[in-house]
Amino acid sequence: MSPFLSRPETWITTTPAGLYCEPGGFHIDPLVPVPRAIVTHGHGDHARPGNERVLATPGTIAIMRSRFGELTAGSLQPLDYGQPVAIDGVEVRLIPAGHVLGSAQIVIDYRGARVVVSGDYKRRPDPTCAPFEPCNCDLFVTEATFGLPVFRHPPDRLEIDKLLHSLSLFPERCHVVGVYALGKCQRVLALLRRSGYEEPVYLHGALVGMTELYERFGVPLGPVLPWSEAPRDNLKGKIVLAPPAATTDRWSRRLPDPLVAMASGWMRVRQRAKARGVELPLVISDHADWDELTATIGEVAAEEVWVTHGREEALVHHATKKGYRARALALTGFDEDE
């Protein structure tokens, strides 16, 4: 590194509120309300209400508005992918992270050094959001939700085939699939359509708003109906999407002989799937698996890697062995859920 360049660790730090860029005066995905925040994506453990000013992609801002309404922030500044903006001498750009609609990596240039904060990301194609864009940098800040080599997500198509096969084996049973409201729900819908499934898919009430938002952003998801409008018997042999907790709780009793499926990267580990009462585990994840995490670290050619949350120790160990300077930030506040 040239002596004329700034060392990123002198101007980007961890604070109790989260990652902080000193010269720009902004936090990234802050845990508590701050004067100035940049938000990577709309999941609740990254986007929180009550900041004074928020910068994010138009997609993320729409998601935050739909979740928090008036409380979202004092002022909201949408920034399209790839557009640079200067904040007190720091140049900031948002580029796609491939995680969910609107998800962004934050590219921060200051005095000749570049930091990329990836937020949550994945590398495989997803018809519901823009694909991850690798960006060379000096310091790469990565997640590690699935940062162990046991996590290798199979191709989506095979997992959707499992679901469709089960529907043909058990045409009397309602297939209820646990999905997170933002991202997973819409991705499963899009993947079903891509595999040629054209029947209406029924939605738990908690999923309707976000699905409509995706449609408004021009993501076609095919016919969806609120489950409550269908007579019970019509749900036999149909797919119902619901938040994970609802699939094995009281709500599910109203479905005809439900077969519980779950779409999550955690489904890779059988005993975890079993412990959650899942009969049909579908390994579909919006996070990078081990191979994607390690390949991305190599691809962005950073000298230094910081790991925010997940299985940090394994990824730090791997990166260190590969010759990167790596450390775990031990940031709190991020969910294990996906």
Residues that bind another protein (CB under 8 A): 148-152, 248-250, 252-253, 260, 268-271, 273-274, 277-281, 311, 313-314, 317-318, 321
Residue closer to another protein, measured from CB, 139 or 282: 282
Minimum distance from residue 117 beta carbon to another protein (Å)? 25
Minimum distance from residue 101 beta carbon to another protein (Å)? 30
Residue closer to another protein, measured from CB, 253 or 332: 253
Give the three-state DSSP class for 71: helix
Enclosing H/E stretch for 20 = strand 18-21
Do 263 and 184 touch, CB atoms closer than 8 A? yes
Residue closer to another protein, measured from CB, 165 or 194: 165
Minimum distance from residue 167 beta carbon to another protein (Å)? 15
Q: Please tell me the distance from the alpha carbon of residue 322 to that of residue 6, in angstroms, as a whole number.
A: 24
Do 160 and 191 touch, CB atoms closer than 8 A? yes
Give the three-state DSSP class for 168: helix
Residue 196's alpha-carbon distances to 1, 128, 239, 325, in angstroms, are 52, 16, 14, 46
Do 182 and 219 touch, CB atoms closer than 8 A? no
Residue closer to another protein, measured from CB, 65 or 317: 317
Residue closer to another protein, measured from CB, 216 or 274: 274
Minimum distance from residue 155 beta carbon to another protein (Å)? 12
Residue 161 is encoded by which pair of tokens? 């085939």
Minimum distance from residue 311 beta carbon to another protein (Å)? 7
